Amino acid sequence: MLKKLNLFIFMTKIKIKISFPKISDIKKTNKIAKNLFGTETDETQAKPTLKTALKIISIEKNNFVCLKDNNKIIAWSVVLPTSKESMKRFLKKEINERELFKISMSQSFFEALYLTAVIVLPKYRKKRNWFFSYRKTNKIF
């Protein structure tokens, strides 16, 4: 009974939900990702842009999802659909991430997924409670 009560108290204080990003969310997550991964100075990495994010979302809305606590983004994931051949070339290091994105954005047929990023804001990394709520409510993955 105590565990159920604690879970209830936790869930009433924190309003965690899965959502699809708004334009403002994409801009915020892109800025964080650029700083985190150093994509502005690394020519091999894909640069997170609004155009790329919207293209990925247009292919399948679940390719970019956010986890929010009281409407504030605390985590997000981005998946790039691609072909098996492109993915094989990437894994063999024949092409880099930036080239994989360029190739994949021009494709219309997808057979593989590249998990581009799963980011949890530093403030929430040590607080594992959000993860259990995410796992229970997330029907996407």
What confidence tens digit (pLDDT) does each residue in 115-130 have? 999 999 988 887 655 4
Q: What is the DSSP string of the chain?
A: -HHHHHHHHHHHH--EEEEPPPHHHHHHHHHHHHHHHTTTT-TTSPPP-HHHHHHHHHH-GGGEEEEEETTEEEEEEEEEEE-HHHHHHHHTTSS-HHHHHHHHHT-S---EEEEEEEEE-HHHHT-THHHHHHHHH----
Instruction: Answer yes or no: is 134 within a domain.
Output: no
Determine the structural domain holding residue 36 and report its residue range.
18-118
Give the pLDDT confidence of 3-25 residue by residue, as tens digits: 443 444 344 455 778 889 999 99
Instruction: Answer yes or no: is 91 within a domain.
Output: yes
> What pLDDT sits at residue 134?
47
Instruction: Answer yes or no: is 11 within a domain.
Output: no
Give the pLDDT confidence of 70-117 residue by residue, as tens digits: 889 999 999 999 999 999 999 999 999 999 999 999 998 899 999 999
Give the pLDDT confidence of 53-69 residue by residue, as tens digits: 999 999 999 999 999 98
Average pLDDT, the chain: 83
Instruction: Answer yes or no: is 1 within a domain.
Output: no
> What pLDDT sits at residue 129?
53
Instruction: Answer yes or no: is 82 within a domain.
Output: yes
pTM of the model: 0.76
Instruction: Answer yes or no: is 130 within a domain.
Output: no
The total domain count for the chain is: 1
